[in-house]
Amino acid sequence: MAYLALYRAWRPRRFVEVVGQEKTVTALRNAVREGKLSHAYLFSGPRGTGKTSIAKIIAKAVNCENLSEGEPCNQCSSCQDINNGNFMDVIEIDAASNRGIDEIRDLREKVRVLPAQGKNKVYIIDEVHMLTTEAFNALLKTIEEPPDAVIFILATTESHKIPATIRSRCQVFNFRRLTTAEIMERLSDVAANDGIILEPEALLLLARRANGGMRDALSMLDQIYSYKGNNKISKQDVLEVMGLVDDAFMAQLIAAVLSQDTPSIIGILGTAFSQGKEAQQLAREAAMFLRDFLLYLVAGKEADLVVAGEESQAFFEHEKGKTNMQNLLRALRIMMDTADKLRFSEGQKYLLEIAFMEIATLFNEEKSAQPSFLEEKKPKIKTSPRTKASSNEAQDALWNKILAAVKEKKIPTHALLVQGKLLGIKDDTVYIAYKKGYKFHKERMEEKGNREILAQAIKETMGRDMESQFIFLDDDQYNDIIVKKAIEFFGEELVEIKD
């Protein structure tokens, strides 16, 4: 016999075998037992939660020759043929590929034909929301008053796209996502039955990443089992096969973001890319990690975390003082938007780097203003008392206006520029300095596109065209450029060099 994928081999064949969906299962089993099944049902809910499986159980129940307490026997010829997909009176239709009015007209003609093999005909229309408006209209009367021996079961993952006229003619059952505990229990049963040794951390990771879908969980287990070639599966196996990153890796990356350590951010991302990780997957992983961080900030250890383990919770506890809920929400939105944009972009690495640097600027804004580059490192430049504080305040205000104008035009450019410092203005040139560690930002800002955006922002702010010059400041040694520019801006008599 050909190999069956785990999700097919472990598909529930009776109501009692369905994982979760207790209210739905109870209502339908009682209806079968008491002979009160409706002529049309609408099953809505996330993928892999049991919609099609329950539809097939109903199909068996209404044709079973030995029905017992609302459960099909799975032994009679009708049940076995339905299980094998050979039953003529159970018709499965994929609405995604049969969505037009012609297909529905054909269905309406065939509905009139009496059952050929069993007692009832069951039409299971999957992804029914894909039908066209004309097709839905053609289906209305048939669903409202089908022949006595016909049952319609419509399944969809997007119930909001189903017309109200269709919903009103059906009994509607909403399927919920399965809990992590429910998925872990079924995966444990599958592993034990198939002789798979599933480490506890691997089991937890699989259950969490299934996102409430049993089919996804079983498919991932099947894929990893095939890759391993033996019966032992570890957490590292799950990460490698599914292209995921460890939560410890993500904690290291977010720690660099919180510290505004740009070189480390670029280096960590570079390591991930060199290991074959995809930019879009990294963005999704970061979004889930930030989501866990946000929930931990709100609910503490009671939070329902998706990717964060015990080590990450210790990281959350240590780092929670560096941020707040508002900025985490903004960071989460940026990363989710980036994950969506990466689907259509060729410069994926660049976009992801910019997104992380933009998030770093969010957390940087929480901290007090950093000292001027002219004052931070030796040799120090000391101005005489004649230099007024109001001059520095005016320069800071001007810089903030330029930054705001750039941000309105392009956020990634703002993320690059905000790490710089307005050194001063001489004639028609604006001098902007970057300190050590921000070479990447300086080089990006020197590109034509970013220069043009900055030039527009400066013109809007200052009312005239000006050039921009970027200076890289070396923190570790004396830099004559600093002194030269300071003399140009403040005058030689005001500048004193201190060794």
408-443 as b/e, with b when 16 or more CB fall inside 10 Å? eebebbbbbbbbbbbbbbeeeebbbbbbeebebbbe
Residue ranges matching CATH 3.30.300.180 in the chain: 373-498
Structure tokens at 130: 């894909």
Q: Give the whole-angstrom CA distance, residue 154 versus residue 52.
A: 9
- Beta strand extents in 448-494 (DSSP E only): 467-472
Spell out the per-residue pLDDT of the chain, length 499, in tens. 567 888 889 999 999 999 989 999 999 999 999 999 999 999 999 999 999 999 999 999 999 999 989 999 999 999 999 999 899 999 999 988 888 888 888 898 889 888 888 899 999 999 999 999 999 998 998 898 888 899 999 999 999 999 999 999 999 999 999 998 999 999 999 999 988 899 998 998 899 888 889 999 999 999 998 887 778 899 888 888 887 888 888 888 998 888 888 888 898 898 888 888 888 889 988 999 999 999 988 888 778 888 887 778 888 888 888 888 888 899 999 999 988 888 876 667 888 888 898 888 887 765 543 443 333 433 343 444 444 455 566 777 788 888 888 888 888 788 888 888 887 777 778 888 887 777 788 888 888 888 889 988 888 887 788 888 888 765 444 344 444 554 454 444 333 333 3
DSSP E strand boundaries for 95-220:
121-126, 150-156, 171-174, 197-198
Residue type, 461: T
CATH assignment of 6-174, among 3.60.40.10, 2.40.128.130, 3.40.50.300, 3.20.20.70: 3.40.50.300
CATH 3.40.50.300 domain position(s) in the chain: 6-174
pTM given for the model: 0.67
Is 94 within 8 Å of 194 (Cβ atoms)? no
Which CATH number fits the domain 180-242, given the four candidates 3.50.50.100, 1.10.8.60, 3.40.50.970, 1.10.3720.10? 1.10.8.60
Going edge to edge, which strands form the sheet with 40-44?
A: 90-94, 121-126, 150-156, 40-44, 171-174
Which residue type sits at 398? L
Q: CATH: 3.40.190.10, 1.10.3720.10, 3.40.30.10, 3.30.300.180. Which one for 373-498?
A: 3.30.300.180
| 247-364: CATH, from 1.20.120.400, 1.20.1250.20, 1.20.272.10, 2.20.28.90 | 1.20.272.10
- Domain(s) of CATH 1.10.8.60: residues in the chain: 180-242
